[in-house]
């Protein structure tokens, strides 16, 4: 008798499910957000679930054995459900109001862990002080990773709005609050579709992108364990909201900094022959540094050397004993980058010696301020292009030029095949037109569900096509 009742209950649930799908109002399709009440939550799911958590016991979505555009559309529908969009905005705004600098993202990390716990997503913490490595899927290969950075900047926000930063002198002026919200949103979608996953998705919430140490420390702590590919995005004020852009090969430059100390002999300015003038030596070095790019670099291989600081004495009647030069250098390949580094040291040291001075050059390698170039693997770029074209349409995917900015995602790309891409936030009506690191930086929040869907579709489709 109990068996008959159980079979009858199952049959009733199936009938109700079909009826719900059939009679849903126009424009509303049955999805993971909606399910008949006869499907009880599993006993290991807490009863105090927040309403933002998607339910996922059954679905009428496609199985996606072979990935099609319909699969991408299903992911995007999940992301754009009204209750999900409101939740994404609330997550981003909470993070925006409480910005935390590199390796201080304690409350941001706590918020992420709380949301993951509500979804019953397992994670490893801590990594790199405040970082998190979350896991969704089968626990078996293939493993694909998606990364978001968490840190804010030491900038006073100048945008007047309801959710302005509450912390004086700190602001999410580079969109990392949105990056975190999108990846949490992707976690919800992927958990909802976990039964579709043909492998394992690793979600990396990384501290200290701005400081340059975050990615290296995450890798050191095992973030890329078993991972065979990794993806990440960055919001861009240069593209209209939700337009996606990337390119194969070099996307962002390698970046380094230097500090040179040129030492001579102090003396009276009226008797220069009794001194050894480091100002003259430093001036010659600055001019000679420009010849590295102008006369030694291939004109088709973009490189930059900029001296940004020149500090000597402050006595108008004295030749100082030292001059300190500071600057930065950029290149799009590791070969060019490290060749520039070598030549900067050689030119400064040798030019100093011409004027009887001594020189030392520090590249801050102990502080990990050297970023290698961010180079997109061609097959991973192509994967992003296909997913983006399905999600936002081929006309809303753009091949972008490389730029001289730098990103510590480059450390991941040195270890496993990787692709980095942009997603637009430009909206002139809202005032979302300012570059990152500006006190007026803001984003069009309509990008949040699209970014979440992009992360989720990139990960799920990768597993589908590489299992």
User: What residue numbers does the annotated binding site for Mn(2+) cover?
Assistant: 174, 176, 210, 234, 437
Give CA–CA dist 200/459, Å, rounded: 9
What 3 state SS string does the chain have?
Answer: CHHHHHHHHHHHHHHHHHHHHHHCCCCCCCCCCCCCCCCCCCCCCCCCCCCCCCCCCCCCCCCCCCCCHHHHHHHHHHHCCHHHHHHHHHHHHHHHHCCCCCCCCHHHHHHHHHHHHHCCCEEEEEECCCEEEEEEECCCCCEEEEEEECCCECCCCCCCCCCCCCCCCCECCCCHHHHHHHHHHHHHHHHHCHHHCCCEEEEEEECCCCCCCHHHHHHHCCCCCCCCEEEEEEEEEEEECCCEEECCEEEECEEEEEEEEEECECEECCCHHHCECHHHHHHHHHHHHHHHHHHHCCCCCCEEEEEEEEECCCCCCEECCEEEEEEEEEECCHHHHHHHHHHHHHHHHHHHHHCCCEEEEECCHHHCCCECCEEECHHHHHHHHHHHHHHHCHHHEEECCCECCCCCCHHHHCCCCEEEEEEEEEECCCCECCCCCCCCCCCCCCHHHHHHHHHHHHHHHHHHHHC
Structure tokens at 401: 């030029």
Give CA–CA dist 21/433, Å, rounded: 42
Give CA–CA dist 373/406, Å, rounded: 7
Give CA–CA dist 76/407, Å, rounded: 28
Structure tokens at 28: 């509303």
**What residues form the annotated binding site?**
174, 176, 210, 234, 437
Give CA–CA dist 149/183, Å, rounded: 10
């Amino acid at each position: 008798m109990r068996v008959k009742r159980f079979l009858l209950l199952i049959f009733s649930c199936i009938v109700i499910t079909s009826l719900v799908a059939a009679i849903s109002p126009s424009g509303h399709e049955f999805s993971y957000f909606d399910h008949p009440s006869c499907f009880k939550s599993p006993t290991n799911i807490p009863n105090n679930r927040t309403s933002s958590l998607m339910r996922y016991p059954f679905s009428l979505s496609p199985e996606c054995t072979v990935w099609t555009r319909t699969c991408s559309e299903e992911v995007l529908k999940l992301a754009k459900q009204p209750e999900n969009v409101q939740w994404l905005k609330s997550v981003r705004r909470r993070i925006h109001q409480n910005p935390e600098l590199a390796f201080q993202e304690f409350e941001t990390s706590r918020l992420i862990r709380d949301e993951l716990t509500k979804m019953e997503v397992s994670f490893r913490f801590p990594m790199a002080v405040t970082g998190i490595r979350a896991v969704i899927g089968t626990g078996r290969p293939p493993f694909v990773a998606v990364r978001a950075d968490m840190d804010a900047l030491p900038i006073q926000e100048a945008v007047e709005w309801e959710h302005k930063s509450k912390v004086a002198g700190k602001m999410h002026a580079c969109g990392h609050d949105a990056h975190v919200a999108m990846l949490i949103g992707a976690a919800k979608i992927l958990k909802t579709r976990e039964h579709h996953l043909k492998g394992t998705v690793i979600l990396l919430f990384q501290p200290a992108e701005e400081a340059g140490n975050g990615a290296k420390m995450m890798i050191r702590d095992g973030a890329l364990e078993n991972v065979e590919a990794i993806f990440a995005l960055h919001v861009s004020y240069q593209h209209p909201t939700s337009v996606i852009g990337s390119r194969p090969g070099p996307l962002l430059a390698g970046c380094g900094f230097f500090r040179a100390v040129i030492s001579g002999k102090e003396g009276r300015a009226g008797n220069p022959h009794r001194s050894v003038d480091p100002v003259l030596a430093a001036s010659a070095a600055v001019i000679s540094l420009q010849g590295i790019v102008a006369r030694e670099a291939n004109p088709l291989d973009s490189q930059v050397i900029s001296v940004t600081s020149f500090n000597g004495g402050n006595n108008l009647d004295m030749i100082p004993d030292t001059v300190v030069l500071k600057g930065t250098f950029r290149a799009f390949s590791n070969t060019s980058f490290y060749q520039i580094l070598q030549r900067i040291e050689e030119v400064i040291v040798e030019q100093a010696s011409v004027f009887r001075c001594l020189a030392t050059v520090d590249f801050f390698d102990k502080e990990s301020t050297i970023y290698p170039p961010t180079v997109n693997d061609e097959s991973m770029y192509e994967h992003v292009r296909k997913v983006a074209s399905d999600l936002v349409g081929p006309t809303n995917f753009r091949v972008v030029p490389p730029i001289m900015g730098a990103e510590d995602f480059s450390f991941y790309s040195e270890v496993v095949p990787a692709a980095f891409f942009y997603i637009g936030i430009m909206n002139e009506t809202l005032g979302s037109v300012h570059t990152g690191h500006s006190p007026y930086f803001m984003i069009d929040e309509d990008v949040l569900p699209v970014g979440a869907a992009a992360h989720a579709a990139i990960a799920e489709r990768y597993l589908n096509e590489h299992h």
